[in-house]
Structure 1
């Protein structure tokens, strides 16, 4: 009689754990620790925010682990279905969506409500990476025009909800793919110069263009108020400018080392609006100071640099484009969130990765990191 010994648990799990990118995982865990510390301080007395944030983080890490097991070729196969379903859900949201605070961003599916725009943060770069992979070596102008059309369709649907924050993230992710695919600099540089000139003109003409009776073309009235408030928040210190002013006070009062864990007065006296979501960096800066902010930025920098290294070493055009877009999307999250809290960008709904509260956003981050780890993992396994 033959006796077959069952291998120990660690040997059975080894194939699942092999090939993971350790530097990237260290950066993620570093950011998770800071995120939990900050959420406990800012949200421990705000219902179930802290346990929910910890649960969402565990769920995101679990999804990251599962997606990392999927080969990039299979991820490429879901690009068209995911994009199609995402756009259809956006159309359904426009027609039958749930309106809250003047925005129609949610779709009821019976047992719960979903925000379809979050799906497009991944679906759009996946679709565009698939598009350019299929045309590798044969790229022509019509291919770039079609790529912009694929990008603008979901962006316009999201902007119409309106949800400018998510729209910016979707637009940025798609533009990163198009840039890495080989968009000529002769088209990029004029757009950058035009944007810089427009921003300069906006600042210089603030007194005239921000008059109450003046209507801006294209933008809605509340979007005009956001930009004008950014230019001079002191004009409405108890209204539109309150967020920016209180965020700046909190960050500035933190000084070099901060007021200490759970010692932030602006935070715990509830002067900071949305202190567990969009403005959590203000609470972080108040309690951990400049040194804590640098430690947090070091984690984001390590994650972004490692992601770009994974992208440069990826084996196919699809994986290079996808890894590059996912990595720079993290940069967009961090830059926009910290910029709006610090008063250098308009206030839009963009969370700070791993730190801000939000279940859907956390799940999206986990899926994005899973894609990045999948690309890094398949390259390592091929080498071994």
Structure 2
């Protein structure tokens, strides 16, 4: 009797493509995106089309996340060297003939203007995780020295543009991989002492605007209508929210547009004014859930590459949130870092969506291995 293979229904064939999501992580992201839409609809009331554009950013980030979740970690490992090399090549091209905007050479024109430094936020930890998985002798000083070179190259190229904020984020993403790979606390203490000793040299090498940002952090009232305006108005908004907040759409600092960049870098100040300390605690809990779920995925990852990559991506989310809330609250210099999955912006959402998709890929393929 002839054998006819069983035909699977269309729904069964498509099911693997729609079961890629890690639902605990997806639910946390949904809460953040919902909070973003609510806050954006108030903060962006005077910016026609801003909420609609943010929704398009959500959709694009969702597609990127979905596609990344479909890619197995083994494929990501094979892509690590080409993606890192491609990213560094683009950074060199930026240094050679990039477009200058507002005094900074950060963009390449390839039909549209692109900012290659964004690629390195994922490419750098991807490359370092591949290196420790395949080439490095874990724990040896030579392995950490080579890893440091792989990190310093993109960091230096981005800092030279100049774009210190992005350089610090790329540096942090790579440092997390090196730290999770077993960097000794003694080395960390030595680096901290050496870094402190080099502060005078670093200060002399900074651009004028970078030194001004640090001095403004120390005393924003020294230039209240200029360099200190951002921090002063932001801290007024946060403080005026009190415990319960003024209510949705009733924040005077935000509604009267005293807060600069209120839909992008300083969205948190508008949120704080309208929802107060209670709202801030709610937002902090959501971010803690995001970090906790990411660390759980990293801890359960099947190999060193996946553990290092998942851990670094999770800590990137933490760094985004910590730096943004810190600069908006006046305890860190203003460096142009958005609040993750909240602030308006297309490029940042794509990067964050890619990171979330990689976490989901690592979790999904761990389950497939176990079954």
| TM-score grouping bracket, smaller chain normalisation | over 0.9
Cα distance change of structure 1 residues 108 and 322 upon mapping to structure 2, 3 Å threshold: same
Give distance in 1, aligned partners of 2:203 and 2:369: 55
Question: 1:141-290 counterparts in 2 under 5 A?
Answer: 141-192=141-192, 216-290=203-277
Question: 1:2-151 counterparts in 2 under 5 A?
Answer: 7=9, 9=11, 11-18=12-19, 20-110=21-111, 112-135=112-135, 137=137, 139-151=139-151
Aligned-residue CA RMSD (Å)? 2.1
Deviations 1:249-285 (A, max 9, x none): 0011111121111111101111001111111111111
The answer to whether the 8 Å contact 2:21/2:360 transfers is: yes
Q: Say which is worse superposed, 352-361 or 215-224, in terms of deviation.
A: 215-224
Give distance in 1, aligned partners of 2:109 and 2:370: 46
Cα distance change of structure 1 residues 14 and 38 upon mapping to structure 2, 3 Å threshold: same
SS state at 1:217 partner: helix
SS state at 2:204 partner: coil
Q: Quote the residue 2:318 is aligned against.
A: 331
Q: Quote the residue 2:278 is aligned against.
A: 291
Q: CA deviation at 1:5?
A: 7.3
SS state at 1:382 partner: helix
Q: CA deviation at 1:139?
A: 4.7
Give distance in 1, aligned partners of 2:294 and 2:7: 41
SS state at 2:337 partner: coil
User: Which ranges of structure 2 fall in alignment gaps of 5 or more residues?
Assistant: none
Give distance in 1, aligned partners of 2:32 and 2:367: 24
User: Which ranges of structure 1 fall in alignment gaps of 5 or more residues?
Assistant: 203-208, 210-214
The answer to whether the 8 Å contact 2:128/2:174 transfers is: yes
Q: Quote the residue 1:306 is aligned against.
A: 293
Matched, 1:376 2:360: no
The answer to whether the 8 Å contact 2:138/2:181 transfers is: no
The answer to whether the 8 Å contact 2:137/2:143 transfers is: no
The answer to whether the 8 Å contact 1:258/1:289 transfers is: yes
Give distance in 1, aligned partners of 2:341 and 2:87: 24
Cα distance change of structure 1 residues 348 and 381 upon mapping to structure 2, 3 Å threshold: same
Q: CA deviation at 1:309?
A: 0.9
Deviations 1:64-86 (A, max 9, x none): 11110111000011111111111
The answer to whether the 8 Å contact 1:254/1:287 transfers is: yes
SS state at 2:244 partner: coil
Give distance in 2, aligned partners of 1:234 and 1:338: 20
Give distance in 2, aligned partners of 1:137 and 1:17: 39
Q: CA deviation at 1:216?
A: 4.2
Give distance in 2, aligned partners of 1:43 and 1:355: 13
Q: Say which is worse superposed, 182-191 or 247-256, in terms of deviation.
A: 182-191
The answer to whether the 8 Å contact 2:159/2:167 transfers is: yes
Q: CA deviation at 1:12?
A: 3.5
TM-score, L = length of structure 1: 0.91
The answer to whether the 8 Å contact 2:20/2:66 transfers is: no
Give distance in 1, aligned partners of 2:7 and 2:85: 48
Cα distance change of structure 1 residues 71 and 102 upon mapping to structure 2, 3 Å threshold: same
Give distance in 2, aligned partners of 1:165 and 1:224: 13
Deviations 1:104-154 (A, max 9, x none): 1111112x1001000000000000001110135555222211111110111
The answer to whether the 8 Å contact 2:20/2:361 transfers is: no
The answer to whether the 8 Å contact 1:117/1:166 transfers is: yes
Give distance in 2, aligned partners of 1:103 and 1:249: 30
Give distance in 2, aligned partners of 1:321 and 1:216: 33
Q: CA deviation at 1:191?
A: 3.3
Deviations 1:274-311 (A, max 9, x none): 11111111111111111111111111110101111111
Q: CA deviation at 1:18?
A: 3.3
Q: Quote the residue 1:205 is aligned against.
A: none
Cα distance change of structure 1 residues 198 and 281 upon mapping to structure 2, 3 Å threshold: farther
Q: Quote the residue 1:319 is aligned against.
A: 306
Q: CA deviation at 1:17?
A: 3.2
SS state at 1:78 partner: helix
Q: CA deviation at 1:32?
A: 0.8
SS state at 1:356 partner: coil
